Amino acid sequence: MEKTKEQRRKEREIIASYYDKRMKELLDPLYDDFQKWKKGELSHDELCERIHEVHKENQKVHSLFCQNRAFLLKLIKWEKQNGVENRG
């Protein structure tokens, strides 16, 4: 059965919201690390390492969002039902 335009729009919204959530989980701690670096609490080497780590995690998130839409929607639903929190 083919989905309606409204159903597809709703799915896009769910996926976009989930993407935003995952990106915030990755980028918020990096932002905090930039603040620590600015205050002198983190060396530039440590900050560069964190940037590299976040980049690797971002690649994983990106590959997840290249998956089949039906799979991604099932994953989102499962995580919500099971109270799963992603941290990068």
Q: Where are the domains of the chain?
A: 5-81
Question: What region, left, alpha or beta, does residue 83 occupy, with left being phi > 0 and alpha being psi -120 to 50 degrees?
Answer: left
pLDDT at position 66 is 86
* DSSP structure class, residue 40: T
The ranges of the chain with pLDDT < 70 are 86-88
Residue linked to tokens 């998130």: 61
Return the pLDDT at 85. Answer: 73
- Amino acid (1-letter code) at residue 22: R
pLDDT (0 to 100) of residue 87: 53
Please report the pLDDT score of residue 88 as a whole number: 46
8 A C-beta contact, residue 64 and residue 36: no
Burial of 11 (0-12, 13-18, 19+ CB in 10 A): middle
Q: Taking the model in full, what pTM does it have?
A: 0.76
